[in-house]
Structure 1
């Protein structure tokens, strides 16, 4: 996080306008080792700015800092400054249950507060290089001509004109499309692609009013207007869809999601698709969807709420199982949540969100993990929580994590 972004988030907080994502990004940054060397400069700027015309005392700084860390209005999962997370590690012979208490306020808070209230010094270079922060709202839109814009650098209430459409970034950071006043009847389809990097996620409202939340390391290709007989998008990665009903000239337009060799047709509204881990997992939250392979002889499968299909592209097979959608959709609400997941699946999610590289030393053949933890914990706290569950150990060097039995 740079100085301008931190200043922007503080201003949003003081004006009671922080979105949940902005809230968690500010909160996680203040808990990080990088916070100390930026806080004083930001406060000096705010003190002389129009939003804060009165001098900010040391007591004011401490009070506001403590309020941010303890405030839970925009963070339903954090009812107290401390959070207890239960993880379970199972193998064929035994189950071990460990409860890890993650202190949001504690030694880390005291150390950062002390550095903040004392005269400012530059943070040691080796500490800055070692810091690994959670992800945030980061994405690019790639246009049909190959040019791109970085959405993270755009301010809220920004409008970009692209031919017959306008791309609007709202105050909450989300992107939506609307026709320009001079829009004509050009029927040639024009596509945009929104891409989230490792350590990024984003929300986009499609031209038909459908909302899509993209997880880290995901791309979604979609038309900027729907004039065909179907609404078709292409997904690579993981996304949560809330599909709107849409008609053109009195005719309902089906909504289709193409993910590698899988085609999903929306017969309802809310679902999650995950194409990581060498399979395509579709979890239905609400409504009804139909999934089928684009090639091969597999017949179409219809999912109902609380059902999940796993498509193995290599074997061209679908498996339908009952599930609790909580585990598949927790990422959209700011959590990691696993149900009997392998350590590689767990660390795959962590690697994409924190933008780290993971190496393994061991076979890890009989271990599965279940549990829920915030995506905005400091990474070392998160790894320590997992390590408490059994024989898994971690060694972190900067952005490289070694997983050992």
Structure 2
């Protein structure tokens, strides 16, 4: 039997979930040793056929996202400061081949979740955590109305929740909040609502002007219940992704007042992400589409798609970032945890916010990570992937996450 025939057999065994541990180890060795592209070509051929496991019915959009993220990480297998996860680099033979081969390698390495079709983005379904594990975050938030009334949105029934001036506030479905102005709006006093997600929560809101905002865990968005003449202005603490409704006459402004590094982002109509948690050393704005102007302490930077701006907590310096990995910046919004060169501290802050755990270090750890995994899985699955570096070990005790070398 030729190597190509053997590879085809092993791939078929893996996608039909009938491979033995020895076969998976053999498949992993063949994939990692291959530098000719044969693995990708064989996988592409197989995936055009009917597979016993129903592999062909996987969501193309999901696999396209996975493949693009992994192939975008086409850099050396090690950083200057530590090892990274063993994700091989593949020539672009198509999303089917790249996704299949990478998924199979991760399957053989223990991080098997990439080969199973996860829930769609926005956490429509959360994979249950077994006893002793920690469940992932979900769609939950609290809406604080102008009069101070607090509405827990995860338990609120779908439908109209309140009327704020000339605007109806509705929950059309799980994880969504919508503001609908009356077509016969009359002048009224400016009123503000606040949407607050806890650790382990996320939510989406459509503002009165049609702007859509995805709010990540442990974040707060304050906004008017109606946008009057002039600027459209909101305040953000934490992280959010914005799709701003275009209106040339009325710029959209996001103020980030957290700590002492106040930052403002001005847009007309565009897609961008802002990450400005108080426990992070810098606030980052990443532009995906359109144009934005980022300003702070008298300095301004005009961003083009694929660029970012960072404001450092200590020196208050606003810096331009070229060729930003935009997929990494919005991975959370698309339902993924993406670790791209993260050190242990930044990775643990990300995980602590999403899984609502307390991180305790037994000793210093210097591991760095690279990888992507759906974020609707129990914490143990994420930790298994991170432990593949061989430089870190995790132990779960209730809501505590113990980290040791």
TM-score using structure 1 length: 0.68
1:381 aligns to 2:381 (yes or no): yes
1:139 to 133, 138, 141: 141
Task: State how far apart, in whole Å, the 2-side matches of 1:292 and 1:164 are.
Answer: 33
Between Structure 1 and Structure 2, how many residues are aligned?
Answer: 307
Gapped regions of structure 1 (runs ≥ 5): 1-66, 107-126
Task: State how far apart, in whole Å, the 2-side matches of 1:370 and 1:175 are.
Answer: 34
Alpha-carbon offset, residue 400 of structure 1: 0.4
Alpha-carbon offset, residue 302 of structure 1: 0.7
Residues 148-168 of structure 1: CA distance to partner in whole angstroms, max 9, x if unpaired?
101111223344233432101
Q: Which residue in 2 is equivalent to 1:398?
A: 398
Q: Report matched runs for 1:361-376 at 5 Å.
A: 361-365=362-366, 367-376=367-376
Larger displacement relative to structure 2 (278-287 or 308-317): 308-317
Q: In proportion to residue count, which structure has more strand? A: 1
Task: State how far apart, in whole Å, the 2-side matches of 1:392 and 1:241 are.
Answer: 35
Q: Report matched runs for 1:85-104 at 5 Å.
A: 90-92=78-80, 95=83, 97-98=85-86, 100-101=106-107, 102-103=111-112
Q: Which residue in 1 is equivalent to 2:103?
A: none
Alpha-carbon offset, residue 303 of structure 1: 0.8
1:257 aligns to 2:257 (yes or no): no
Q: Which residue in 2 is equivalent to 1:161?
A: 163
Residues 127-184 of structure 1: CA distance to partner in whole angstroms, max 9, x if unpaired?
75x3411111101110122111011112233442334321011135421112357853
Task: State how far apart, in whole Å, the 2-side matches of 1:96 and 1:181 are.
Answer: 55
Q: 2:136 aligns to what SS in structure 1?
A: coil
1:178 aligns to 2:180 (yes or no): yes
2:84–2:389 Cα contact (<8 Å) kept: yes
2:146–2:193 Cα contact (<8 Å) kept: yes
Q: Pick closer, same or farther for the CA change 1:202–1:72 going to 2, 3 Å.
A: farther
Q: Pick closer, same or farther for the CA change 1:77–1:133 going to 2, 3 Å.
A: farther
Q: Which residue in 2 is equivalent to 1:151?
A: 153
Q: Pick closer, same or farther for the CA change 1:371–1:315 going to 2, 3 Å.
A: same
Q: Which residue in 1 is equivalent to 2:286?
A: 283
Residues 41-96 of structure 1: CA distance to partner in whole angstroms, max 9, x if unpaired?
xxxxxxxxxxxxxxxxxxxxxxxxxx9xx98559824999xxx9999984536645
Q: Pick closer, same or farther for the CA change 1:96–1:299 going to 2, 3 Å.
A: closer
1:88–1:369 Cα contact (<8 Å) kept: no
1:140–1:195 Cα contact (<8 Å) kept: yes
Q: Which residue in 1 is equivalent to 2:307?
A: 307
Task: State how far apart, in whole Å, the 1-side matches of 2:65 and 2:331 are.
Answer: 17
